[in-house]
Structure 1
Amino acid sequence: MLKKLLIILLSALCLALSLAYRTGGMSPSDFIDASPDKTIQTWQVAHPETLLKQSDRALEQNNPELAKQQALEAIRKNITNGLAFAQLVTVAAKDDKLGLDAAKLAPLAEQLWPAHIGVQIKLASYWQVQNNLPKLMHAWHILMVRAPSLRKDIYPILFKLLSYQEGLEVLKNYTENPPSWWLGFFNYTAQQEQSLSQLRVLYNLRDTDTTTLTQEERATFINSLIKSKLWEEAYFVWLAGLNENQLNESGFIYNGSFENTDKTAGFDWQFAKSPLVKTEIAATNGMVGQRALHLSLNDKDRINFRHISQVTKLNAGLYSFSARARVDNLQTGEGLRWRMHCMNNKNTLLGESTVLAKRKPWEELKFDFEVPANDCVFQIVRLEASSPFVNNHFFKGSLWFDDIRINRQLAKPQ
């Protein structure tokens, strides 16, 4: 099955890469002869690149013998020309009766010019015909490193290979020290429809005792899990990626002090983007520690404010929410509140703070809530517009928040 897939897909890919090289000017140097397709006159000294262009033309005209002679002439001009040896490999694949040993020529071409784009494109075609997937993957690797514009042509084939054990074995060779194209391929996989199983395969290839996942890879995987509503798995992947300092901030709410400036995916503070809203972590008077959350709002348009939130995973039980808040100025209808909801179809409201609607110095907001045992595995704490009505959704001003906490209660307060 894999062999059939390779024949269909790789043939098209090799053709695309060849055309890209020959028409897109991807060679490291420009061609010397301004008219390389013209017949060389006896008094002219042909440059090797001119001869190789004419060798390509001879192959297009189904004249492999002439193509061979022109490639050999290019070698006589420059015995170290790896592209000329790669051209002989291409000629040998076209006609196996010309006395050319492609199996010996291919390694020689690669040894002479190991990073040359044209050489690797020609060798990729040869390795594909030979069904040599490791060597083919190496050629693609060089191409994706040296010519990033070709990645868009190669990523779809790599994505298909994720469904086959042979493909995984080859890709595994590039996971310990990921090359420059790896993250792009990881993100490409995440963007494909119904690709979570393939993305999980890539993630597991990288998540080993001998390799270290990047924050970008972990974030992409977490976001894909969340997109598929696999909150439980996403949460533990997120938790496994926290460093010691971040773990110290991972109580019932994460980084409620706003002291940790390393952004994490999924279960950190989420700040929705809007031209009407600006959030920043900064220093101010009266804060606890070195940083606090600053919220600036403008009233150019009405907005149903729900732009600051965090997903939590609290077991069933009694809790209290607290936060320090300062309102420097605020023009609004019915103001803002912190609210806690279950993440379920009903968006069950568990509790809410008093309203923030006018200028106030630092004060503590507090409310108690109970997480039910059923249908509330994950919750979301969010700063929201107090009113559900659009005519009250105008806000202009500056607010600060700090020292946001969720604490467990042993019993309901009397």
Structure 2
Amino acid sequence: MKRTGRPSRYPAPAVILSITLALGLSLALAWMICVRTLADMLAAESPLDALFWDPAHPVALGNVATTELERAGNDAERRVNARRAADYAGRLVARDPFASGGLSLFGATQDRLGAKPERVAKIMRVAGKNLPIDIVAHGWLYDYAARTANAADMLTELDILLRGRPSLGPKFVPSVLALLAARPEAEAGLVNLLAASPIWRSPFLFYLCTQPGDSDRLLRIFNRLRQTAAPPAMSEVGPLIDRLLAEQKVDQAYLLWVDSLPAERLTKLGLLYNHDFEYPLTGLPFDWRFVAAKGVAITVEGEEKRRKLNVEFQGGRVQFRNVSHLLVLAPGKYALNGVSQTEGLENARGLRWRLYCVASTTVLAETSVVKGTTAPKRFRNEFVVPDAGCELQNLVLEIPSRIASEEQVSGMASYSDLGIESVAP
């Protein structure tokens, strides 16, 4: 008969081994998780401490390399710092060649250490290809193209940089203007780039027009752009018009403005464009300009051919000169016409239209002031534009206040049927 023994109270060796291995793996995994979590927490603020726990932590390596590269000092110290930065950046790239910003950071360290620009350019091109939004890589390539006067590459990099960060436009405008001055043929490339209507076009054109430089070149660029399928919008033309007026190039400014108008409006320019507020206001010179002010509502109301300008003062003090229109009347005799109406307009001085020469501030015409409550009343003021010194005129609706107490105003005034006509001598 076969004997049966009691079952052992202890687990088999194989079971003990399995449990031991599982426990060891769990502890190792827990330790790894703790180490990586701690390194992640320290990587931004204390990257060197993070590297103590994880010597290959990509964020910490990048941060330390950046810090070393940006550290101030004399030439010798900066070179030592660059070597340290290159070591950390090299470790980052070795760990992960596609780490965000790793290659461009390594390229920047090589540039600082005096590597040949061609070698650095190869590194930066690979970095830019791996990460199309790598600002460091594309910024370096832009500067390299500018140094080597490579207009095509410069404009390509400009497009990449500004598509990623349109706010960088002011940083690049001076170098673009320098390129255009040195390489006039680059104008065509810039126009082609702008004709594609990139997202950064409008702010870049604004920055371009506000920088010192050759306004005639800017005018050529706008004229060439107007011949494309994406001509400048009226809002894009405005800064250049203001620039030309500031340089007293009145004829060029006016022609640029006329060229920006829709074709159907060219037959209705008149002496006072948009005199009946038929078209939406553009806010550009040679159109009505309304400037917002606290406690004042400036509106246009009414149906076609019966529109009127309403100015409602809600009480309080205001230095009101907030409705204006630039004119380019030739020397000669004219008349300013219109219809005024007021309702409870309370002000010590009243409201009036004043027309003056911009260059000399010589007053050409002033209407009678209106205040209180008045029925619609037609006014007409004849004036003469002199032969010289008055190429540009400004028509302004104003309260001619002289002291603060005369700025207190409430009530409403309306104007309609405004116009300017030539008068036979």
TM surpasses 0.5: yes
Answering whether residue 226 of structure 2 is matched by residue 207 of structure 1, we say: no
Answering whether residue 282 of structure 2 is matched by residue 268 of structure 1, we say: no
Letter of the aligned partner of 2:286 in structure 1? Answer: F
Q: Which residue of 2 aligns with 1:315?
A: 330
Distance in 1 between the 2:65 and 2:404 partners? Answer: 72
Higher relative contact order (Cα pairs below 8 Å, separated by 6+ residues): 1
Letter of the aligned partner of 2:104 in structure 1? Answer: A
Answering whether residue 248 of structure 2 is matched by residue 229 of structure 1, we say: yes
Of residues 261, 264, 284, the one that matches 1:242 is: 261
Q: CA deviation at 1:261?
A: 1.4
Which residues of structure 1 form unaligned runs of 5+? 1-29
Corresponding residue SS for 2:316: coil
Q: CA deviation at 1:398?
A: 0.8
Asked which structure has the greater CA Rg, the reply is: 2
Of residues 400, 408, 412, the one that matches 2:422 is: 408
Q: CA deviation at 1:253?
A: 0.8
Corresponding residue SS for 2:335: strand
Which residues of structure 2 form unaligned runs of 5+? 1-39, 70-77
Question: Residues 113 and 403 (structure 1 numbering): CA distance in 2 closer, same or farther, change over 3 Å?
Answer: same
Corresponding residue SS for 1:207: helix
Contact kept, 8 Å, 1:161 with 1:167, in 2: the verdict is: no
Q: Which residue of 1 aligns with 2:30?
A: none
Q: Which residue of 1 aligns with 2:80?
A: 62
Q: Please, what is the CA RMSD of the aligned residues?
A: 4.2
Of residues 291, 310, 313, the one that matches 1:297 is: 313
Letter of the aligned partner of 2:312 in structure 1? Answer: S
Of residues 347, 352, 358, the one that matches 2:362 is: 347
Which TM-score applies when normalising by structure 2?
0.69
Q: Which residue of 2 aligns with 1:365?
A: 379
Letter of the aligned partner of 2:309 in structure 1? Answer: L
Q: Which residue of 1 aligns with 2:10?
A: none
Contact kept, 8 Å, 1:312 with 1:378, in 2: the verdict is: yes
Answering whether residue 346 of structure 2 is matched by residue 331 of structure 1, we say: yes
Letter of the aligned partner of 1:135 in structure 2? Answer: D
Q: CA deviation at 1:114?
A: 1.8
Contact kept, 8 Å, 2:145 with 2:154, in 1: the verdict is: yes
Contact kept, 8 Å, 2:162 with 2:168, in 1: the verdict is: yes
Corresponding residue SS for 2:381: strand
Contact kept, 8 Å, 1:175 with 1:205, in 2: the verdict is: no
Q: Which residue of 2 aligns with 1:107?
A: 125
Distance in 2 between the 1:302 and 1:88 partners? Answer: 59
After superposition, what is the alpha-carbon deviation per residue over 1:229-286, rounded to whole angstroms, capped at 9, x for unaligned? 3322222221121113543542111111112113141111233554464321223xxx
% identity of equivalent residues: 24
Contact kept, 8 Å, 1:175 with 1:206, in 2: the verdict is: no
Which has the larger helix fraction?
A: 2
After superposition, what is the alpha-carbon deviation per residue over 1:169-212, rounded to whole angstroms, capped at 9, x for unaligned? 564553323544444344334444xx2x4344234223311251
Structural mapping, 1:8-157, within 5 Å:
33=43, 35-37=46-48, 44=54, 46-53=56-63, 62=80, 74-81=92-99, 83-90=101-108, 92-93=110-111, 94=113, 96=115, 102=120, 104-121=122-139, 123=141, 132=150, 134-136=152-154, 138-148=156-166, 150-157=168-175
Corresponding residue SS for 2:376: strand
Contact kept, 8 Å, 2:317 with 2:404, in 1: the verdict is: no
Q: CA deviation at 1:322?
A: 2.1
Contact kept, 8 Å, 1:325 with 1:402, in 2: the verdict is: yes
Distance in 2 between the 1:352 and 1:96 partners? Answer: 71
Distance in 1 between the 2:161 and 2:205 partners? Answer: 17
Question: Residues 288 and 330 (structure 1 numbering): CA distance in 2 closer, same or farther, change over 3 Å?
Answer: farther
Distance in 2 between the 1:346 and 1:83 partners? Answer: 58
Letter of the aligned partner of 1:359 in structure 2? Answer: T
Q: CA deviation at 1:217?
A: 2.6
Question: Residues 166 and 64 (structure 1 numbering): CA distance in 2 closer, same or farther, change over 3 Å?
Answer: farther
* Larger mean Cα displacement after TM superposition, 150-159 or 288-297: 150-159
Distance in 2 between the 1:277 and 1:47 partners? Answer: 60
Question: Residues 292 and 104 (structure 1 numbering): CA distance in 2 closer, same or farther, change over 3 Å?
Answer: same
Distance in 2 between the 1:335 and 1:77 partners? Answer: 77
